Amino acid sequence: IHDLELYQIGKVYDNGTPAVIDFNLTVDKGEFIAFLGPSGCGKTTTLRMIAGFESISSGNLMVRGERINDIGPAQRPTSMIFQNYALFPHMTVRNNIGYGLDVKRMEKAQRNAKVDRILEKLGLEDVADKRCDKLSGGQRQRIALARGLVVEPDILLLDEPLGALDANLRKTIQSELKLLQRELGVTFVFVTHAQSEALALSDRIVVMNQGRIEQISPPHQLYTRP
């Protein structure tokens, strides 16, 4: 089975805005997919529909072979990393990362073991007991990534996760992200308006414009207008 299947997906917001039109895409396990396009072209809306956060106006969206509407929130194999990270500023790094496991009422020892493992993987051991609002942008980005990964999703959805970082740090974290994705074999769907980022990271790029797909291609075949 495919990780994601989107057939003729459309989204019209209540105010009449057609945000996504005729979106067709199949994604297989372990792929790194980028949604690339200018602000307002429908990238985030599509990602939110895949996450189950936004209703679908038309078409059929399957996640690992099941219709998205038939999967309860706790059963969804997706995890999302938000643009602004959405961390709890007053909570420690450890508790931010463990939050999703607490919501699932995971037993404490198992929860702590999972949190420790991901802290180590992302090099956050030294700041584990610090409050999130005391940390740098790069550290917050890693915490957000850790929080998304600790629940062991099949599919990680990332909404412009590097947008708040300066250019140097963005390059560093890009490389880390790519290595991590390869190591874990998790499917990544990554939203960006930066072509260089899509080129550096993804196996396939979905180019969007005004709600529609303009092309889907691997980075080396990306057609760009002069």
Residue 225 amino acid letter? R
Q: Which of 17, 196 has the CB closer to ligand ADP?
A: 17
Q: Is residue 43 a contact residue for ligand ADP (CB under 6 A)? A: yes
User: Nearest distance from residue 182's CB to ligand ADP, in Å?
Assistant: 26
Question: Which residue among 4, 42, 119, 198 contacts ligand ADP (CB under 6 A)?
Answer: 42
Q: Which of 82, 112 has the CB closer to ligand ADP?
A: 82
Question: Which residue among 17, 84, 110, 172 contacts ligand ADP (CB under 6 A)?
Answer: 17
Using CA atoms, how far apart are residues 141 and 135, in angstroms rounded to an integer?
10
Q: Which of 17, 60 has the CB closer to ligand ADP?
A: 17
User: Nearest distance from residue 179's CB to ligand ADP, in Å?
Assistant: 26
User: Nearest distance from residue 47's CB to ligand ADP, in Å?
Assistant: 8
Q: Look at strands 4-12 and 58-63 and give their pairing.
A: antiparallel
Q: Is residue 39 a contact residue for ligand ADP (CB under 6 A)? A: yes
Q: Is residue 119 a contact residue for ligand ADP (CB under 6 A)? A: no
Question: Which residue among 44, 78, 192, 202 contacts ligand ADP (CB under 6 A)?
Answer: 44
Q: Is residue 151 a contact residue for ligand ADP (CB under 6 A)? A: no
Alpha-carbon torsion (204, 20, 82, 66), positive or negative? negative
Interacting residues with ligand ADP (CB under 6 A):
13, 15, 17, 19, 37, 39-45
